[in-house]
Structure 1
Amino acid sequence: MSDRTPQVSVVIPAYNCAAYICQAVDSVLHQTYKDWEIIVVDDGSRDDTRLILQQYGDRIRYIHQQNQGVSIARNRGIELARGEFIAFLDADDYFFPNKIAAQIAVFAAQPNLGIVHSGWRQVNSTGEPIKDVKPWQKVPKLNLEMWLRWKPVLPSAMVFRRHWLERAGGFDPRFPPAEDTDLVLRLALMGCEADWLQQVTVCYRQHEQSAMYKGLPQAKSLAAVTDNFFARPELPDQIRLLEKQIKYSTFVWIAWYLHRTGHAVEMVEFLQRSWNYTPYLPVETVINWADCFAEFSHEAGDELDADLLAQSPEWQQLMQWTMLIS
């Protein structure tokens, strides 16, 4: 290991990802930008992760800890990092070759930035493309209001100035797997500026173990992060005024996500929660729910079967509930 201080620290938290970890590490080794260090924090893997990583020798810094979750693993990486910038890479994702160079160029052009975000390519478990996600098309500005409204957070697509992560105290382990959204909201509230690199820089792997397939924990965590954020006493008035709008749209999105991941009973609970914040009349609210479900499904590359949804016992029960309380 060289004594020189690298410009960028790439932090890779790993937990039972032996099947993918080499592709992640290799994608950093093959970067066109060369001034980096790789820190792999093995969060108590029970597979061959340690053995597989031995082949890299001193090209990586390998740290093993007891299993404590991805927040603690990433925070350990932040503590050990020597670079001015930190790029996170989940062990089942992998960078395109010019990712770091392109994002560091944005920092060089805009020294005020604390975060440079980018687009990503969703791939399946074997790395075959599903679709490219370019969030700047819908969210052109990354200010606190836009982070709150759209939550376009993916750590593997982002690079952070290390001092901002240290000021924020890193990831909060109370909110898995939405701890990344919590961190970005706290950073934005602290005044951390962010901008887009309008480029797809990373492959984000979708498989049964990945966070997006953990329907119920993801939903409950995102709701907890939203509630926790609006409970902060230091919120500016213009953000406080958005609370009802943000909670309504967030809870409707969570309900759709639960519908998509097969949690119909919990879907009903979140639509009922959204009712407390609706800007619409009762009938308009139900129409809006259906419209939002159709829109979210389309954005995810599916089409909503509205008839099937309307005929489900949970939706029928929900319609009875809306009539009772209207």
Structure 2
Amino acid sequence: MHVSVVIAAYNAEAYIAEAIESVLGQTVPPDELIVVDDGSRDGTRSVLDRFGSRIIALTQENSGQAVAVNKGLALARGELIGFCDADDLWTARKLEMQLALLEHDRSVEAAFGKVQQFVSPDVPQEHRVRLTPDVEIMLGELKQCMLIRRAALTRIDPFDESLPATFFIAWLGRAKQNGLKTAHVDEIVVQRRLHLGNGGRTNTDAQNLQTLMALRQAIKAQRSPE
């Protein structure tokens, strides 16, 4: 099955090369990797250019991660779609394991796995304790952990571009309400980098508000029509 991977990147010069290499270096490599530079102001685009024809790279005006991901999806040709965040890493056998799961059970629409959180080596020592997670390894129902059939993505509404910080939370809630069948591989598939520039740390108020909005939408959708 043809696999497409989408990465949205904004001011990701420090980490994007590692993220890309973790996708391209899979034991079963994807058929295409699309990276959308969301109007970065640093050297992100220069890093992307170094990969040449190994990736499909494009740049848009800064419009938010949801817009960038949707743009990448519009270009993707794969029957299966994966995602990686610009500062995270896929483990080497992520695609191999998830492809095996999806091929074994054709009724499963989306495969997830475990996520391992780690403090980025470049974080200064005085901040490392504060960033150290309470739980290192957990089940990962995160965008970067998911490999999903394109047909299932098409069946569910697209990512909500009005919720740039929490669009995947909102989407996954809608998807489950619409009967999305998921399964998990019992292995770590993503290493989530914790650093001072994580979006959830720098935009906490916006993320909290958008999470509340997403939960309200989910509750409203669950109510029976009068």
TM-score (norm 2): 0.88
What SS is found at the alignment partner of 1:46?
coil
Contact residue 23 and residue 30 of structure 2 kept, 8 A: no
Higher helix share: 1
Provide Cα deviations, 1:247-306, integer angstroms capped at 9, x if missing partner.
xxxxxxxxxxxxxxxxxxxxxxxxxxxxxxxxxxxxxxxxxxxxxxxxxxxxxxxxxxxx
Please identify runs of 4+ aligned residues in structure 1 that moved more than 3 A. 127-132
Query: Corresponding residue for 2:218?
Result: 229
Specify which structure has the bigger relative contact order, considering alpha-carbon pairs within 8 angstroms and separated by 6 or more residues: 2
CA 230–119 in structure 1, closer or farther in 2 if over 3 Å, else same: same
Equivalent pairs: percent with the same residue? Answer: 33
Structure 1 residue 35: Cα displacement: 4.2
Give the Cα–Cα distance (whole angstroms) in 1 for the partners of residues 30 and 165 of structure 2: 30
Which deviations, in whole Å up to 9, do the C-alpha atoms of 1:1-55 show, x marking residues without a partner? xxxxx71111010000010010001111210003421100111111111111112
Deviation at 1:236, TM superposition (A): 6.8
RMSD: 2.0
8 A contact 2:3–2:82 mirrored in 1: yes
Q: How far apart, CA to CA, are the structure 2 residues paired with 1:52 and 1:224?
A: 36
Larger radius of gyration: 1
Asked whether the 8 Å contact 1:134–1:199 carries over to 2, the reply is no
Residue 113 of structure 1 is matched in structure 2 by: 108
Question: Does structure 2 conserve the Cα–Cα contact (< 8 Å) formed by 1:153 and 1:181?
Answer: no
1:44 to 19, 39, 52: 39
What's the offset of the Cα at 1:217?
1.6
Evaluate the alpha carbon distance shift between residue 35 and residue 53 of structure 1 in structure 2; reply closer, same or farther with a 3 A threshold. closer
Structure 2 distance, partners of 1:67, 1:29, is 26
Q: For residues 204 and 35 of structure 1, what CA distance do their matches in structure 2 show?
A: 20
Any unmatched runs of 5+ in structure 1? 1-5, 136-151, 241-326
Matched, 1:26 2:15: no
1:125 aligns with 2:120: yes
Give yes or no for contact 1:71–1:173 (8 Å, CA) kept in 2.
yes
Any unmatched runs of 5+ in structure 2?
124-131
